[in-house]
Chain A
Amino acid sequence: MKADIRVALVGNPNTGKSTLFNTLTGLNQKIGNFPGVTVDKKTGICQLPDGRMAEIIDLPGTYSLYPKSQDESIVFSILADQSNPLTPDLVVVILDATNLKRNLLLYSQVADLKIPVIIALNMVDLSKKAGITIDIDLFSKKLGVPVVPISARRKEGIDKLKAAITFANKIALQEESIDVEAIAPQLIAEISRELKLENPYYALQLAHQHETIKFISPVQSDRIEELEKEFSFHSQKAQATETIARYNFINDLLYDTVKVPETAQDETLSNKIDKVLTHKVFGFIIFFGVLLFMFQSIFSWSAYPMELIADLFVWVQNTLHHLLPAGPLTGLLVDGVIGGLSGVMVFIPQIAILFAFISILEDTGYMSRVTFMMDKLMRKVGLNGKSVVPLIGGFACAVPSIMSTRTIENWKDRMITIMVTPLVTCSARLPIYTLLIALVVPNRNVWWLFNMQGLALTGMYVFSLISAIVVAFVFKLILKGRERGYFIMELPVYRMPRWNNVAYSMYDRSKAFVLQAGKVIIAVSVILWVLASYGPGDRFARIDQKYRQPQYTQRLNADELSKAVRSEKLENSYAGVLGHVIEPVIRPLGFDWKIGIALITSFAAREVFVGTMATIYSVEGSAEKMETVQKKMKTATNPETGQPVFSLAVAFSLMMFYAFAMQCASTVAVVYRETKNWRWPTLQFAYMTVLAYVASFVAYHLLK
């Protein structure tokens, strides 16, 4: 759909910007990437009263045009870069009516870029309740822009806002806020002259940001640098002068337009809640209670839908096997592509539930309290209060969690968080742990209360957190910080979650996960399928010939015969050959060539392990017949020693391997995408593999 007008939403965090975006666009949304950067670009279509279509761009929430994080840097680029195809025709600045002063800073910066702008004054219902009176007409007149009072949460004033967008001017009519040129007169004049810029504030912003923005050429950037030296421009001093000037302007503006009640209000509800939720003792108890509830829910609520999805894929695979002629192409499509796809799809329920929780915790304002409580603790190991969110998310899946590290402004803190998040026990490790624990840990209670298998599983979770913290500490010592860390963060007022936003977030994140991780997993599973289905030379033909001989056909029934053929073919496939090749390397860990194959096939995704074990022990189907896999694995014996293959030592050695090894192509891909440098995923892969090998080795030899 071609839009007639492009509108950007700009505002501080926690001003209800996403709620307004969802209300304006409904389900007509699209998530993409801003070209060249890994910032999610949310766009949607909104029909205006006159029938025209407006494309709405939701820009990341920011307190000012001077970016503090990667997400925020996109705002200036989109607003200012005239050659950018996404440059908006109109900017809607959303202001929180309960906190106008701080919100107006961003407005005054955006207004000075001289793009047509209108103000959506949000949360007017809450400001009225707080006793704040705003003379909207005078406010609008003094600024020279339309001001529409709305309540995005209650969907009030939305029609008026749409009308205001429809009738918005094509040229910027806002009043001047501050005397921008006075900040650096000669520099601004010279940059404007040489780069042929008309807007002095744009020139000033280029002076501040020329090193990081992408849309000016290196030659221009160097020239700006020269000019700055010539006129001895000091970026931070200039910014301080500008901010003070802007707040003077804002104070003048608010002086006769806004009346805030003088008398100190009673203790707010938010404050009362904080007294409990950030209490020295209860604060932590409640936090761990919330975590516990979250994990319980992620596992218990997702069990049924995951089963449904798995069943659906099995049904599709069966149906296609019947419908399509047998042959390599059908095998590739059904077992390779669809098999791989089902491995991704089953995780959708867990990811959706995890993001529902994260979105509720963020929406209510609780997440920033957790950050507040944990910061000191996390800082000790080189992390940051804000690392808590990705680490918790890591229990479900590292991929979206690593994406959520973007909110961490400090480069070093963010890198360390990215490096250790994959160590946290993710949901893909769960089937492996359950299978192996069930094999070697007796299912009985200790001290009446605790189930031994449950304890072993809990132990693996706790162990993963400890290892993440230890590794983070090591990285803290190795990595050099690029900038000073700081932690200046708004603690928003507690609010009820907006269920619409929760639903959108579940939908958005699941979609992003399927599209991003899906591509990699499909590609790798196709390759693995080929490796497992073909063998070098004429080995496969000889196996077929061998089993056609009477000594087999007479003694075995058709079912057993096909299993025997499959099992021997696997051993002789490229994957099997590889398994034998790596056997000497993994022998010290207690693994044989069959486990070796599973290590190779689950290289791209850990959960493939169970399926491969199922195939290797020639059981039909995969995960849905876990009971049978378990039995087969339990009875499997080493032909040389006669001992069971899966002893306690081997099982724990395997679990240690999966606890540390980076067996997840999607994570590697997302780490590359977030760091934009192959060094990080390579380093991560290397350190995790080394740790996996050492931990496995130690576990095997201790328990042997």
Chain B
Amino acid sequence: MSGRETVLAAIRRGLGRGPLGDAARRALDERQGATDSAPLLPKLPKGPLPQVFRVGLEKVSGTMSEIAGMDEVPGAVAGYLAGHGLAPEAAVAPSLESLDWSGAGVQAAFGPTRGGDYAGVSLAWRGVAENGSLVLLSGPENPTSLNFLPDHHIVVLQGKDLLPHLEPVWAALRERGRDGWPRTVNVITGPSRTADIELTIQLGAHGPRSLHVLLVD
């Protein structure tokens, strides 16, 4: 018997029954999830979504600035780099390649990084107001390495992509069709941190030391 059959047989022995019949399996497949009721979504604080998002993000030491349009992104990145005493260089997601980076004086390298870049710039697929989280999808347009290797991670989030909870994000992914999930969905809530030494919180454990969101109206 293969490992698979051994484990499945042991589970069925534990459950005290044989394999489920076709009808029972179909009924399980048709369910929306484990419970009969719709997911319970926590009530969010009053106020516009960007405000709720900002409170969540700042609670976890993230920062945010609001800009009026996508064409302002390179300028805002240049401002952030200068403000942090960094050279005007960044590894940038190809999804943002069409913006005028040289016009803003930023030397942008488009594509994944192998470390060595101080700043990475990515485009969020969605934002979640509940905890100030960003949802990033992997792909040639948005290499995952940009989210984790640079010291400073700057993420562009468009206001129209800001949702109240994670559940509508899953609904949107489901709309991409069966197997519409990319290799990685990163839900990022603040910069990297650890409390492994004497429970003292320290930012920048292995991932970015700081996380900055550019919310585009």
Are A and B genuine complex partners?
A: no
